[in-house]
Structure 1
Amino acid sequence: MLFQRNNIWLSKGKKVYLNTVRHDNIDYLLTQLNPDHEKSKGGNSNVFAVKDPNTEDEYVIKFCKFDIDNAQPWMKTRIARFEREIDALQTAKEANCGNVIDFKFSEYKTISNKKFHFYVMEKADLDLTSYLEAEDLSDQMRFQLCTYILEGIQQLHKLGIYHRDIKPDNILRVNGTWKIGDLGLVAYREPDFEIDEIGERIGPIGWLSPEAMNKFFNEGLGKKNTHGFDCKLDEKSDIFQLGKLFWFIFQGNIPIGQIRRADFKLKDKTLYDLILTMLRHSKENRLSIQEIEDGFKTRYSHYGI
């Protein structure tokens, strides 16, 4: 393995034997997760497939691509966020959260004389984006899919963990079970330190909550927050993103602007009203995750659950 052009790469040819990581005296072999290496690169990480030589089980390995020992201040923030992601996954595993991607182990590896932190997790069969594109789902199946996702986010919230990056690409199916993945932007109810940078965009474009937009446009040097707009992302930010995701699951577009009943194609006013309350601009007016679950339960019989 080597580090060049600000990314971690697998060795080729006679040096493929270098593509390993060691844990508990077992050497796990790494291969490309995707033939297109560009798709294995993120802003702060690289991902690969990794195999247990004893069981032949295949997992996913994620590297933070910043040298632990020689990190600039802004890199240290990214490393801290990666370590918090690991902590959140470990916490979810210890709490037996069945709807959150399963954490296996974490270690460090030296590559090109640089030290990188990595962790290993279970490998998904596909993500929600691919699933919705490939399958012609009934309304009942779409509703049930929402309940699985809701359960996963609720499991995290009970642990005081907020995801803040809810989108179809981060909802993963593993052996038939839908799970919450990519906890790279998580925050805690009682953080021991602040990782978010001033004015940083937290979350994916198109899925941002109003307070995430406020943070991006109103925080930082030279920016004025004259009216004291809310720039803090918390559990109610997850609720807003969930509302967008549920809407997307039912009809394939993202709700923006002035939303009307006619915009929601499903003939279920109760469900429309429920999702609409999740999408309220002021997070004080959004439902809690428990209220959403209670609302969904009133529709179980309608959808044959």
Structure 2
Amino acid sequence: MSQVELFRNQSSSYTISDHVTGDDGRIYIVGERIAAGGNAVVHECNEKLSGDSYAVKFQVELRQRRRERFQREVELLRGFDDPHIIRFVATGTVPGIRTERVRRNGRIATRRGNSEELPFVILMRASEDLAKHAKTPHQIPPATYLAQFLGLSKALVKVNEKALHRDIKPENILVVGSAWAISDFGLCDLHEGGPDLSRVDEKIGPAQWMSPEAFNKNLGCADAIGQTSDVFQLASVFWYATCGRHPTGIVRGTDWCGPAELFPIMERALLHSSQDRFQTSAEFSAALEAAIIR
């Protein structure tokens, strides 16, 4: 077996075996890195017997809150069965040796630490995320994005039955086969079954795609974040996929590039005051469905 290096950041990494075993009893061979964030890294992997391609997400930030968040994400994913929510395949842990790079006498030296168990989750492999997909030279045709909008809005209803996502952005909408799927549930706030694992002073949400109340909470205000915040974020993603722009400020009909009948729905979903928006994802989805399927 070979070794794979998982880079936690520029100064430290974990070395693991390139063969990991999921709780489904199958062995997955870890390949090249696909993406990396502040808490986790994602690599491609192949199931050893079939050769089928998947993605494996390793949690490399191992402080207790981060571990609990990762486990919460895994349990949420395990409970979903929807083509517009990234599909859970398996989970497990793998021993990893941490290596730190330190500067000594003007030179970079490496220091090996103890072995730690790194949790991972195997997911369906995406071809790309919506941030990249929407930048392709060809414009996404309405017949494609309208079907995806409807599917994603219905998927958000299922998510909101269990939790608030709080981190909806183009990078977290993945293209999996012919479907766009919601992914990355690491910042979810469960309705039941546990406290919010975020620190009081921690920024929650995608920096460029936050709802106004999420921004205000990060400024220390006591704004409540509910389903209407998830609706705002998803509508922002829809606007981006349709127009190639972020819906900053007061949106106007002349700014909208999609079907005219959808603009009033987008406008309401993106209002500054959460009290004036759709109050639930179910309400938002029903409005979209009525406009799309006329």
TM-score normalised by structure 2 residue count: 0.83
Contact map agreement 1:77 1:195 (CA 8 A) in 2:
yes
Amino acid at match of 1:33: R
Partner of 2:160: 157
In structure 2, the residue matched to 1:22 is: 21
Evaluate the alpha carbon distance shift between residue 267 and residue 182 of structure 1 in structure 2; reply closer, same or farther with a 3 A threshold.
closer
Residue 78, structure 1, aligned to residue 66, structure 2: yes
Residues 281 and 46 (structure 1), Cα distance of their counterparts in 2 relative to 1, 3 Å cut: same
Correspondence for 2:254: 262
Distance 1:147 1:110, change over 3 A: same
Higher strand share: 2
What does 1:29-178 correspond to in 2, within 5 Å?
29-34=29-34, 40-67=35-62, 75-92=63-80, 96-112=81-97, 113-134=115-136, 135-158=138-161, 160-178=162-180
Shift of 1:166: 1.0
CA–CA separation in structure 2 for the residues paired with 1:266 and 1:176: 21
How many residue pairs get aligned? The number is 268
C-alpha spacing 1:28/1:259, structure 2 compared with 1 (3 Å): closer
Equivalent of 2:275, from 265, 276, 284? Answer: 284
Matches of 2:246 and 2:129, distance apart in 1: 18
| CA deviation after TM superposition for structure 1 residue 299, in Å | 2.1
Could you tell me whether the CA contact under 8 Å between 1:127 and 1:169 is conserved in 2? Answer: yes
* Counterpart in the other structure of 2:108: none
**What's the counterpart of residue 215 of structure 1?**
217
Pick from 259, 265, 279 the counterpart of residue 274 of structure 1: 265
Greater relative CO, 1 or 2 (CA 8 Å, sep 6+): 2
How far apart are residue 97 of structure 1 and its match? 2.4
Cα displacement (A) at 1:267: 5.6
Let me know the Cα RMSD of the aligned residues. Answer: 2.1
Aligned partner of residue 253 in structure 1, secondary structure: coil
**Displacement after TM superposition at 1:242 (Å):** 1.4
Instruction: Note the C-alpha offset of 1:205.
Output: 1.6
Superposition deviation, residue 202 in structure 1: 1.2
1:252 and 2:211 matched: no
Corresponding residue number in structure 2 for 1:7: 13
The one-letter code of the counterpart of 1:28 is: Y
SS in structure 1 opposite 2:117? strand
Identity across aligned pairs (percent)?
26
Shift of 1:175: 2.2
Distance verdict in 2 for CA 1:26–1:97, change over 3 Å:
closer
Secondary structure, counterpart of 2:291 in structure 1: coil
Over 3 Å counting, the alpha-carbon distance change for 1:199 and 1:48 in structure 2 is same
Shift of residue 253 of structure 1?
A: 0.7
SS at match of 2:262: helix
- Aligned equivalents of 1:142, 1:9: Cα separation in 2: 41
Distance 1:102 1:267 in 2: 31
Structure 2 contact 190–196 (Cα < 8 Å) conserved: no
Rounded to whole Å, the distance in 2 between the matches of 1:142 and 1:26 is: 36
Shift of 1:145: 2.5
Whether the aligned pair in 2 keeps the contact of 1:247 and 1:275 (CA below 8 Å) is yes
Q: 1:108 to 1:244 in 2, by over 3 A?
A: same
What residue ranges of structure 1 are gaps of 5+ in the alignment?
11-17, 35-39, 68-74, 219-224
- CA-to-aligned-CA distance 1:210-258 (integer Å, 9 cap, x gap): 121112111xxxxxx4xxx41x333111011012112112211111223
* 1:3/1:136 CA distance change after superposition, 3 Å: closer
Letter in 2 for 1:89: L
Residue 240 of structure 1, aligned match among 232, 243, 252:
232
In structure 2, relative to structure 1, the CA distance for the partners of 1:167 and 1:2 (3 Å cut) is closer
Mapped partners of 2:96, 2:244: distance in 1? 42
